[in-house]
Structure 1
Amino acid sequence: YNTPWSGLTESHLRGKLPLGAVKESLSRIVHGKKIVGAAIRNDLKALQMDHPAVVDIQDFEMFRRPKPNDTPINLAELWSTHFRNKKPIQQSSHSPIVDARAAMALFKLSQGITTDINAEIDDLAEAIEKQHLNVEDNVKSMATDMW
């Protein structure tokens, strides 16, 4: 369960949708779309999924350590470096909603998008949460228990 990072325990998932059903729902949601995230391939690997259109912000040169090291910088450090006036993220367990919002804000920054990032991220996250909660009653129950 990777509880220290995810915040999830066995009791959170007991009686909820099996992994196969979650994967099927997620596949329908992301079909034909790009998935943007930080170290997103790790999340897909944990779900035993593949997706043809993944944009990992940690692959962007501006979000990597200078050569010769050239390693990715973790999401919390990227956030605190580029959004110093914002509340730090990932101080304890990770929230997938917070991580998604942070990754999207950093992606937009990398693309030179200077609109009100926070308002757009909030709108997008709200839409994702609504879609997520409407997939099935069991998913709604799981989301309520987790967040």
Structure 2
Amino acid sequence: MSQASSNWQNLKRVGILLQRLFSISYSLQQKLPSRSTPPKRKRSTSDKQSKDKKSRMMTQHHSQQDDDHTQVETGVAKPTTSILPTQVTGSKAEIGKYLAMDCEMVGVGVDGEESVLARVSIVNYHGAVIYDSFVRPVEKVTDFRTWVSGVTFSDVEKAPSFQSVQQHVADLIQGRVLIGHAISNDLKALLLTHPPLSIRDTAKFDQLHSVAKTKRPKLKALAKLVLGIDIQENEHSSVIDAQATMEIYKRYQSLWEGTLARQAKIMQAKKSGKRGGGSKKSTSSGNTKKKSTVNINADAPPAAADWWNESALTTA
């Protein structure tokens, strides 16, 4: 009986010990943090600034992407610096072989429907201004067309005479390649002629017709399509128009001159074939080449009249 009692006491002590161990283990589990939810660390000021900087950079990046995306969709080019020169010095300011010319007109006659010369601008291959002069019309100006020509009464009142400007231009372009847009209109206004083989007209070049999708392209449209610039937004500038015409020519110069060279060879071959089929005619002057010259039209206007004294025109 005493032995059974002793065993019972031992079992009771073990049970009490196990109960205490279980209680201690449970308490420890309650105090320890859970593995699934790590303790929150208090962010320092530097961490917060770093996160804010990263957020701003991401915002700028997405904003730039949005701008690029919009540009691609609309096809609107971002504004660019004009490619036309504002100042040319050194050897690039010399006259050279190639000249581009543009003129501004004013209206004479009934309702100013007829056009006469009011300004001439000539630039060289690099866009340097070689000659730029207003012209004093000899006929009574009935419409200065200032809104498009940019010419006013004060510009031409004391400008050089038509004859002096005409002679100056004739001397400049003689023996040189003349470039212009619808250049025949400018030569007509100047009462000048120029060898056709020495003219490059951007209004008549087939490749530019393809670019503009018309056989009568405007200079303003070609400047936008070929050069990516806007001209003639308000009043025209014959200097800017001449520079733009020269730049357009330069973009196609290699193709243009190559086309002309091939055409010249074809014409030469045809002429050689015709001469080979018959007897060659002899002339007393011998085999001389025709010299390319600039001819001043004999039908030049008369000397300036006294219409400039009319006070009504001083407000034009």
What TM-score does the superposition give when structure 2 sets the normalisation length?
Answer: 0.32
Report how far residue 4 of structure 1 moved. 3.0
The Cα offsets for residues 104-127 of structure 1, whole Å up to 9 and x where unpaired, read as 1111111248xxxxxxxxxxxxxx
* 1:13 maps to which of 153, 156, 179: 156
**Structure 2 counterpart of 1:32:** 175
Computing the radius of gyration from Cα coordinates, the structure with the larger value is 2
| Structure with more relative contact order (C-alpha pairs < 8 Å, separation 6 or more) | 1
**Structure 2 counterpart of 1:81:** 225
**Structure 1 counterpart of 2:243:** 101
**Structure 2 counterpart of 1:71:** 215
Unaligned 5+ segments in structure 1 are 114-147
- What CA distance in whole angstroms lies between the structure 1 residues aligned with 2:226 and 2:151? 29
Change (3 A) 1:23 1:93: same
Report how far residue 65 of structure 1 moved. 5.3
- What CA distance in whole angstroms lies between the structure 2 residues aligned with 1:6 and 1:47? 16
- What CA distance in whole angstroms lies between the structure 1 residues aligned with 2:176 and 2:252? 19
* Alignment partner of 1:22 is 2:162: no
- Look up the equivalent residue of 1:14 and give its one-letter code: E
Q: Contact 1:38 / 1:57 at 8 angstroms: preserved in 2?
A: yes
**Structure 1 counterpart of 2:203:** 58
Unaligned 5+ segments in structure 2 are 1-105, 107-144, 256-316
What TM-score does the superposition give when structure 1 sets the normalisation length?
Answer: 0.66
Query: SS state of the match for residue 168, structure 2?
Result: helix
The Cα offsets for residues 37-90 of structure 1, whole Å up to 9 and x where unpaired, read as 111111111222221232101111121258xx8522111100111122x3x111
Q: Contact 1:63 / 1:72 at 8 angstroms: preserved in 2?
A: no
TM-align CA RMSD: 2.1
- What CA distance in whole angstroms lies between the structure 2 residues aligned with 1:49 and 1:4? 27
Report how far residue 9 of structure 1 moved. 1.9
- What CA distance in whole angstroms lies between the structure 2 residues aligned with 1:107 and 1:65? 15
Q: Contact 2:209 / 2:216 at 8 angstroms: preserved in 1?
A: yes
**Structure 2 counterpart of 1:46:** 189
Change (3 A) 1:74 1:7: same
Report how far residue 18 of structure 1 moved. 0.6
> Higher helix fraction: Structure 1 or Structure 2?
1
Q: Contact 2:204 / 2:215 at 8 angstroms: preserved in 1?
A: no
Aligned length: 109
- What CA distance in whole angstroms lies between the structure 2 residues aligned with 1:9 and 1:16? 11
Query: SS state of the match for residue 179, structure 2?
Result: strand
Q: Contact 1:38 / 1:75 at 8 angstroms: preserved in 2?
A: yes
